[in-house]
Structure formats: structure tokens, C-alpha cells
Chains A and B, each alone.
Chain A
Amino acid sequence: MSTELWTYLLVGLSFALYLYIGYASRVRDTKGFYVAGRGVPPVANGAATAADWMSAASFISMAGLISAMGYDGAIYLMGWTGGYVLLALLLAPYLRKYRRFTVPDFIGDRYASNTARALAALATLFISLVYVAGQMRGVGIVFSRFLQVDIALGVLVGVLVVAFFAVLGGMKGVTWTQAVQYALLIIAYLIPAFAIAFMLTGVPIPQLALVASDLPERLNQIQTQLGFAEYTQPFQNKPMLDVLAITAALMVGTAGLPHVIIRFYTTPDVRSARYSAFWALLFIALLYTTAPAVAMFARYNLINTLHGKPLDEVRQIEWVAKWEKTRLLAFVDKNGDGRLTVAKGNAFTMEGGKPNFDKPDMSNPNEVFVDNDIIVLSTPEVARLAGFVIALVAVGGLAAALSTASGLLIAMASAVAHDLYYRIWNPRAPERLRLLVGRLAMLPALGVAAYLGINPPGFVAQVVAFAFGLAAAGLFPSILLGIFDRRMNQQGAVAGMVVGLTFTACMIALMRSPQLFGTPQPLLEDFFGISAEGIGVVGMVLNMATALMVSRLTPPPPENIQQLVDEIRIPRGAGEALDE
């Protein structure tokens, strides 16, 4: 059976499974729709959270990114896992105990302020929209690369599948599809990783192969010979201060992402919320500790296969020919010697972050262009695995993209239908109307996601910094202080949010002005050595400092709010029904 046929078959089967789960877990009330009836066991919620969190970017692009950055790729590895420690210790158990549906629910009630509620709801919407655009694009890319299907058609198919199980099953449908999607994506990630580890080092477990073979040393030697820094040498792409700031901002931002936080609302009690966080990070760690091994092995293999080899010979290799056709791999014989040279610098001139394949960059000897995505996508072929494994990688990539998209969809629908419509605009809406509005709110969100997936604005990658920055500078401190500082009041929290969000948004806009406003140079290079990716952590500190100061100069919160704080600090009573 051909690889293409396998791909159609396995992708088709996985989609049928998602549709079936969505239908089997259809819901009839808002509690089912927003928090899966709070009946999700810790292991299942852990798997669902892992799939919710690991996006198309984690699955397809992250290993490639690390491969290009060497040591400095640690900002993503530590940043995107360390946030779970904050989430598990500082936020999840207490938010679960509060027994509501959304993040703005807590912020709005705790500070008795609809301004704070609306700010939190808008931040949720913005963060989720930025994210979902990337997911839908990921679906389109997997379709086009594996099945030569038009990206637009791929995006539409993806949107329809997600629409079916999310609208019908709400959070309950999303949870159980995510749990299955986790299983598929991790199998699809690990099989090729094990194979390439075994092929290059003789040790089949990537995490062990990393420390047990001489491959790191050989790679470091080759890199030095070719004029690169050693692969394992820290701070070659970014200075230490920026690495610190970015890691911290990604950690805090991760802990403040609404679509991740609401996953912890679905457990039966506080205890299960804590254990869910453990399972979630364990499941995430399976992929996140494998990715750096794949990154290193693939880089070694790529340089070894290409450098110094005659161009004609290289093009005979099946996977090279295939990926050169899709332009994920491109060659230019700058010096006309018929052989490839791998060196520092761009093979082609970069225009708007993309290479112009008609214009070789003659300022350096590098003759090979490698797209980051190829590291994961080509691994099964490099390791000579059977066609059905390649098909499985397509299924895994789609599962990663669809699971994250569906979690974001719930977060967006709840911000519009629950926070803005029900809690602010029409508090007397009956249950059935609220459920209907929740379902309807998904449709425009799906429409926007599809549109952004088909016509991606050039700045999507740039605005992801915004998403993490806003979560770190706006949502995280307000929730944290709301739980741990009994004295924190409305004035302090709102002032802190306004200062934190304004500072972060302005800084990112100034530093990313070429992409956002088309200025020839960024209006601001960096903020005392901290780049746009890491600025959220400064915003967070400013938010907290402002909030603490203002709250101490204004009256303490009313007695009933202080009781609310005392109440969320103890686990007992989390299972009791609440008049929602």
C-alpha cells in the first residue's frame, strides 16, 4: 500500500473516531458544556491537558527550532514546561475550588468589578485568537505536505471536524477527543524518534542515546570545523539576560493561558486538580525531553548527509528529492563546484522572514537552506520507516493542531457567551439560552480561525509574543494576588492590570514595529537587553508592584470577598453543587 493511501486511511479513521467521541459525549447543560460536568479523572485530564497545550508548533516545529538554536533552544523547553509548576502550586487547586466556569469569572468576582471581568475576557479572546490562527494553519500545512491537498481545503476540513465535536460535546466532547489525540500524537512522535536514535547511536531510547553516545562530541567537532559555535555552547543566539527573561516570561505566560487553566476546572475535586497537573506535565515531558534528542540527531544527520557531497549524488536520496520539491530544503551552488557547502549564514536572501529562492545570499558560503519543520517531518523517511509510520506522523500532527484548536474554541466561546453575555450583559438569561449562546459563539470563532488559517497575516509568529506577554502581565498576577493576598482589592488589581498590560503591549509594539506597522527599523531595539519575547515578565513585575502599592493606599476589600478568599484556600466543599 502506498504512503499516500495509508495517510488517507489513517487520517480518515482518526477523524471518524473524533466525530464519534463528539457525538457520544454530547451535552445538555452549561456545566457539561463549559467544565465537562466536572467528572474527568486526573489521568484523563492530564492527557487532555497535554494535547490541549501541545500545538502544531510543538509537534512539527519545536525540534527544528531547537536544532537551529542549540543550547539556547532551552528557553522553549524550560519555559513551556516550568510554567506547569506555577500552575500546579499557585493557581489550579484554588481556581478549581472556586467552582465557576472561566478565568474572568474569578477575576470579576474576586475584585467585584465588571471592568476587571471584561478586561480578563478580552485578554482571553485576544490570546486565544492569536493562538488558533496558528493551529488552523498547521492543519492546512499537514494536509498539503502529506496529501498534496490545497491548504484552504485542508483548513476547511479541519474546521468542520472541530466544529462538530466542540459544538455538540462542548468541554466534555473536547476533553475526551483530546485524551485520544494525546495518545495518537505521542505514538506518532516517539516511533520515528526511537528509530532515528537507534540508527545513529545504537541506543533506541532518545533520552539515553543523548548521554550514552559520542554523537554530541562529533556534532560539536563538525560544527566547529564548519565555523559554527559548538552545539552545546550556551548563549550563542541570545545573551544570558535575555535567555533568563524569555524563559521566565514563557513560564509565567504558560501558567496564565486561559485555555490551559480551564482544563483544571473539569476535575471532580481539588485533589484531582493537583494530580492532573502532575499527569499533564509527565505526558508533556515525554515529548519535550524527546524533542531535544531528535533536534541533535537530525542536525548531525543533515550536515553529514549534505556537507561536501556532490549535488547530483545528494539529489538521488529519496527524502532529499521529496523535500526539495516542497522547498523545505533548497540548494544553491554558489561557488559552482558541484558540491554542497554547509556554513554559517543564509543560503538565500531573507525577505519578511522567508527566503527568496531566486536570490542567493552571496555574503556567505552556505549553500543549503533548511526549513525548521523538516527536522520532524523528514525523520521517518531518514530512518527508512514504513509508509504507515509516515502516515502516522500526519495523524499526529493533525491531532496536535486539532486538540489545541478545540481547547481554544471553548475558551473563546466561554469568554463571549459566559463572561460577556451572561455575567455582564444578561445575568438573568435562563440555562437553555446560555447553552445556545455558548454553541452559537463558537461559530464566528470558527469562521475567524478558518479565515486566518487560509489567509495568515504575515505577523502571526510575531503576535505570539503578545499572547504570552498579555497572559504573563495581565492574567497571571491578578489571579495570583487574588488568591495569596487577602488584602488585594479592586483598585489595586485594576490599576495593576492596566499598568502591566499597557507597558507590555507598548513595548512589544515598539520592538516589533517593522512587522506590525512596516517601519524600516524597530522603534526600540530592546528594553535594557530584554527582547519582545521576554518583556512579559517585566510587565508582570510592574503589575504586581502597582497592585500592591495601590491596594495599600485604598480600603481593604469587603468582608464577603475576604471570606471568598478564605474559602478557596481549603479543598473541602469543591464537589458541592453551586447555583451556577
Chain B
Amino acid sequence: MNPQNPVRAYWRANLRLIRTLLLVWALVSYGLGILLAEPLSQFRIGTLPLGFWIAQQGSIYVFVLLIWLYAWRMDRLDREYDVHE
């Protein structure tokens, strides 16, 4: 943490977190769900082709998880940098 400007350090930490989570968001939805849907169809999750499952089920679970992770991590960042309500 930069003691001179904690607010700026807080913002940078926030941006880092956003970047990581959005990378996962894009990789799962556009990457696995669409671009790689055809090759992933050889693999199966249970009886369903994997590409199809990611596009119609798995990606949605990941989205929910990403939002929760963001809220939870930001809660801790808010306190760490003393900018919470």
C-alpha cells in the first residue's frame, strides 16, 4: 500500500481485481462457450457435450460466482484501505 495516497492505491487494487475477473468472464463465455464450442463437443459432462453445457449452463454459474467474488473481495479492500461506509 502506498501510504502517501491510499485512495489511489485502492483504485489500482480495484482495477486489478476487475481486470482478472473480466478476463475469466470473457474466456468462459466467448472463449469456451463460443470459439471453442465445436472442439469441446468431443468431451462430455455426464451425457451432454461439454461445449453445449458451458454455453447453456456452466457460463451462467461462473457469472454468478464472479459477481459474488467481486462483492466479497471489495468488501475486504474497502476495509483495508479505510474507504468503507
Asked whether A277 and B67 contact (CB < 8 A) given A78-B33, A214-B47, A232-B48, the answer is: yes
A573 and B25 alpha carbons, distance in the complex (Å)? 30
Q: Is A359 an interface residue (CB 8 A)?
A: no
Residue A6 interfacial (CB < 8 Å): no
> Is there a chain A Cβ closer than 8 Å to B46's Cβ?
yes
User: How many interface contacts (CB-CB < 8 Å) are there between A and B?
Assistant: 145
Between B18, B35, B41, B48, the greatest number of chain A beta carbons within 10 A of the residue's beta carbon is seen for B48
- Given A247-B34, A571-B78, answer yes or no on A85-B63 (Cβ-Cβ < 8 Å): yes
- B67 adjacent to A281 (CB under 8 Å): yes
Q: With A and B bound together, what is the CA distance between A275 and B73 in angstroms?
A: 11
Q: Which residues of B contact A216 (CB under 8 A)?
A: 47-49
Is A564 in contact with chain B by the CB < 8 A criterion? no
Asked whether A71 lies within 8 Å of B67 as measured between CB atoms, the reply is: no
In the assembled complex, the CB of B30 is this many whole angstroms from the nearest CB of chain A, namely 6
A211 touches B67 (CB 8 A): no
* A90/B47 in contact, CB under 8 A: no
Per the 8 Å Cβ criterion, residues 266-296 of A in contact with B are: 269-271, 274-275, 277-278, 281-282, 285, 288-289, 292
Q: Within the assembled complex, what's the spacing in Å between the Cα atoms of A477 and B38?
A: 32
- Indicate if A433 sits at the interface (CB-CB under 8 A): no
Contact A212 B47 (CB under 8 A): yes
Chain A CB count within 10 A is highest, among B48, B61, B83, B85, for B85
| B64 in contact with A73 (CB, 8 Å) | no
Q: Choose from A82, A93, A211, A575 the contact partner of B63 (Cβ within 8 Å).
A: A82
**Which listed residue (B22, B47, B85) contacts A571, Cβ 8 A?**
B85
Q: Are B83 and A572 in contact (CB under 8 A)?
A: yes
Query: How many positions in chain A have a CB within 8 Å of any CB in the partner chain?
Result: 54
CB <8 Å contact, A289 and B38: no
Which interface residue of B18, B37, B49, B60 has the most chain A CB atoms within 10 A?
Answer: B60
A409 close to B (CB within 8 Å) = no
When the two chains form the complex, which single residue of B29, B34, B56, B68 contacts A73, counting CB atoms closer than 8 Å?
B56
Which residues of chain A have C-beta atoms less than 8 A from B22's C-beta? 85, 89
Taking CB as reference atom, which chain A residue is nearest B52? A232
| Binary flags per residue of B35-78, CB closer than 8 Å to A gives 1, else 0 | 10110010001111101110111011101101110110011001
Q: B6: shortest Cβ distance to chain A, in Å? A: 10
Q: Tell me if A289 and B60 are in contact (CB < 8 A).
A: yes
Chain A, residues 203-219, CB within 8 Å of chain B (1/0): the string is: 00001001111111100
| B67 CB contact (under 8 Å) in A85, A248, A289 | A85
For window 34-82 of A, CB contacts with B under 8 Å fall at 66, 71, 73-74, 77-78, 81-82
A570–B34 alpha-carbon span in the complex (Å): 36
Cβ-based interface call for A127 (8 A)? no
CB closest residue in chain A, given B57? A289
Distance between B46 CB and nearest chain A CB, rounded to angstroms: 3
Q: Verify B55–A570 contact, CB threshold 8 A.
A: no
A160 at interface by CB-CB < 8 Å: no
Encoded as 1 (CB less than 8 Å from any B CB) or 0, chain A from 358 to 371 comes to: 00000000000000
Chain B residues within an 8 Å CB radius of A248: 30
Q: Are A278 and B71 in contact (CB under 8 A)?
A: yes
A285-B61 contact, Cβ under 8 Å, with A71-B56, A85-B21, A243-B34: yes
Complex Cα–Cα for A251 and B75 (A) = 25
Query: Complex Cα distance A211/B50, Å?
Result: 10
- In the complex, the answer to whether A244 meets B70 with C-beta atoms within 8 Å is no
Instruction: State whether the Cβ of A88 lies closer than 8 Å to any Cβ in chain B.
Output: yes
Which residues of B lie under 8 Å from residue A88 when comparing CB positions?
67, 70-71
Q: Is A167 part of the binding interface, using a Cβ–Cβ cutoff of 8 Å?
A: no
A78 to chain B, nearest CB (A): 5
Question: Among A73, A74, A275, A570, which residue has its beta carbon within 8 angstroms of that of B83?
Answer: A570
Interface-central residue, B7, B11, B30, B56, by most chain A CB under 10 Å: B56
Contact A212 B46 (CB under 8 A): yes
- Residue among B25, B38, B47 with the highest chain A CB neighbour number at 10 A: B47
A243 to B51, CA, bound (A): 14
| B13 → A minimal CB distance (Å) | 12
Cα distance, A277 to B70, chains bound together (Å): 10
Task: Kindly state whether residue A2 has any CB partner on chain B within 8 Å.
Answer: no
Residues on B with beta carbons closer than 8 Å to the beta carbon of A74: 33-34, 55-56, 59
- 12 sample A-B contacts, Cβ–Cβ < 8 Å, listed by A number: A77-B59, A78-B55, A82-B63, A84-B63, A210-B48, A216-B49, A232-B52, A271-B74, A271-B84, A282-B64, A285-B60, A566-B7
Q: Which 4 A-B pairs have the closest CB atoms?
A: A211-B46, A74-B55, A274-B71, A232-B52
Interface residues of B (CB under 8 A from A): 7, 10-11, 14, 18, 21-22, 25, 29-30, 33-35, 37-38, 41, 45-49, 51-53, 55-57, 59-61, 63-64, 66-68, 70-71, 74-75, 78, 83-85
